[in-house]
Structure 1
């Protein structure tokens, strides 16, 4: 009964968490859990914490009893510029996005029901995107609207998880995914009026939200005393449509969370050193509002074939190392490389969502207290990347648009071992 009450409180608290604005591997986070963040996100074959609901549900039965609570301060630096458009260059300019600091909380809980079965919950920000550009000197913005220009997308997932061993060194796990997302756009009045008489940009209608569901399943196996493998698959999450923005997003406001899967291997190279490698695939192409091309525009905004952001599927490689310096201290480092989902042809629409970074370097450290609890700190730097392409003809024929971004994130988490 105490366990049921604790999980219930965590689920409620999860939906009350503040918004997260991530844009690393596309708009997914580069890693889930502070230890994974320190290792470039490599976690599919690791069982160090209670974040299996985000990484690999099967890992939880090897994680033991623990409660994890942490927060990261995420700082994305985004900018956009336009040159060479006709009509006197009314929409030319160079702007950096404001709103550059975002707290991103996380927590997980795991309870061993017996030696072969665990029950837990992971609550995490799946991803998101935020831009907030000041208007150009003439009062217009890059999208032909008036005033400030930007979007704010936040996605949160609550993942109750059950895992059990199918053999002493092999396990499977399942996490029903309960999703919540929130979206706001401003400054899109220049998009005009759709076929239903609505202004697609909403004339700054404010936030709209939606709920949805999906499923993540996973496997973990200790193949030898030094080699562990893992695999996990998450379905596309079916989300309610954004009613306020049905004239903006393809399929009348649909914005599902894309399916993704990951494979991982961990190698205990020495008693002190563990190496981990993950491969992740994110299938943005399965969500029309994300994947439909915006250039050329061949269908009305909000229709099934309406323009999206033109994002491609991405492959992500995550490499990490953990070195146990002594009983109290463990040091971590990692590197994360993912494809850029944005093509040059779609650069104009992606002024709103410049998720172009590809390479991330990470560091982390864990200190074990005398009681066995753990304090973990991690740092991530995403190197600047730039995409340039022809301005969408709807906003200024003859021009060129450039978007770029780099990021920093630092976080701290505490794990109570029970």
Structure 2
């Protein structure tokens, strides 16, 4: 391994007990916001860096937050379920996917000014994930056994460097080292030579890991006395294959992390009130194992094959609106709302029983309190219940009928920061 890969592997090993099974506050399976201040404002941060985790949203923010250390912890509770109706193979039923219903997700950021122009930092955080656990296996009627589900978690380590040529503008670049962990269970119905290109490498192989790296670029500029704009781009992360699941994911176990980009603005409406907005695009469809349709299976492309079937996810555009109101020198109140496009088409509902990332709308609130021991932050976000009802979603080879996916989420986040 290269040294960066060793760092990612070590970090994942240390954090695995907390990150295992982390289903993040999701836009698709990407986290909505990094850090309690961003989360309290529905995840805005492209033009409004607020702490040492700013590089997760825009590496240019590293130049604008000073010297600091931020530590955060999220308590995340998703509620996911599925329903099957009209299936001739006998799979009809209501299925609860909450074998594990609460997760702890840590994050930490550090920034340092080298000079008035140059700053550096590092952010360690969960980029996203997906977890389901069905004690009553939705695929039992097709030959599966035991509990069913998947467990995906992604840990990002993002060292950044930022340059501030003038007080009004900052540019940033970051390298993102990604560590992924995945397990699938209870999918024996798909683990045979008629369905998979690598039977025996579809399910119940324990956790597998993969590593990769990508690049982030960003700019933040104060274009008016009270108005800042920002741009951010994250490259596709070419990750290693999940070799234990090369018969499940397209391209022999491939699971790269998609490219994303966005724009933001921040407006100081008054000395006390700041309003901010972000727009983000996540290109899920470009990753074969995520974006390819399950229908390819019935066109002669088995699971795991080059260009083979996936989960059928579409690209997602996310709009975020947030506000921060400074009540006093020690207390700031925050709030926000966000909306994401639906990544899962109705015709892909069957396979997405495993990954029901159907959330569209979030609302969040939070507060920061400055003390002699540092600044303490807390936020709460609620992801409204969303349902995708299948349309021609279960192939006749599996008895036909329709699958229905439902999810809602509660997210409680705490943070501590210290400037020095």
TM bracket (short chain) = over 0.9
How many angstroms apart in 2 are the aligned matches of 1:317 and 1:168?
A: 28
TM-score by length of 1: 0.93
Give the CA RMSD over aligned residues: 1.9
How many angstroms apart in 1 are the aligned matches of 2:295 and 2:383?
A: 28
Change (3 A) 1:142 1:129: farther
Match of 2:287 in 1: 287
1:188 partnered with 2:190: no
Q: 26, 29, 34: which one pairs with 2:28?
A: 26
Match of 1:402 in 2: 404
Match of 1:256 in 2: 256
How many angstroms apart in 2 are the aligned matches of 1:327 and 1:142?
A: 61
Match of 2:168 in 1: 169
How many angstroms apart in 1 are the aligned matches of 2:117 and 2:165?
A: 8
Match of 1:133 in 2: 134
Please state whether the residue corresponding to 2:136 is helix, strand or coil.
Answer: coil
Match of 1:274 in 2: 274
Shift of 1:397: 2.5
Q: What is the number of equivalent residue pairs in this alignment?
A: 405
Shift of 1:158: 0.1
How many angstroms apart in 2 are the aligned matches of 1:11 and 1:314?
A: 29
Shift of 1:395: 6.2
Match of 2:265 in 1: 265
Match of 2:339 in 1: 337
Change (3 A) 1:142 1:265: farther
Structure 2: tracts of 5 or more residues without a match = 1-5
* Alignment check: 8 A CA contact 2:12 2:179 kept: no
Match of 1:3 in 2: none
Change (3 A) 1:15 1:271: farther
Shift of 1:201: 2.3
Shift of 1:83: 1.4
TM-score by length of 2: 0.93
Shift of 1:169: 1.1
Q: 47, 67, 70: which one pairs with 2:69?
A: 67
1:309 partnered with 2:308: no
Please state whether the residue corresponding to 1:46 is helix, strand or coil.
Answer: coil
* Alignment check: 8 A CA contact 1:266 1:274 kept: yes
* Alignment check: 8 A CA contact 2:37 2:366 kept: yes
Shift of 1:140: 5.8
Please state whether the residue corresponding to 1:16 is helix, strand or coil.
Answer: helix
Per-residue CA deviations over 1:253-298 (Å, capped at 9, x if unaligned) read: 0000000011000000000000000000000111000000013522
Please state whether the residue corresponding to 1:401 is helix, strand or coil.
Answer: strand
Shift of 1:305: 2.4
Per-residue CA deviations over 1:167-207 (Å, capped at 9, x if unaligned) read: 221010111010100000000000032465523423x1110
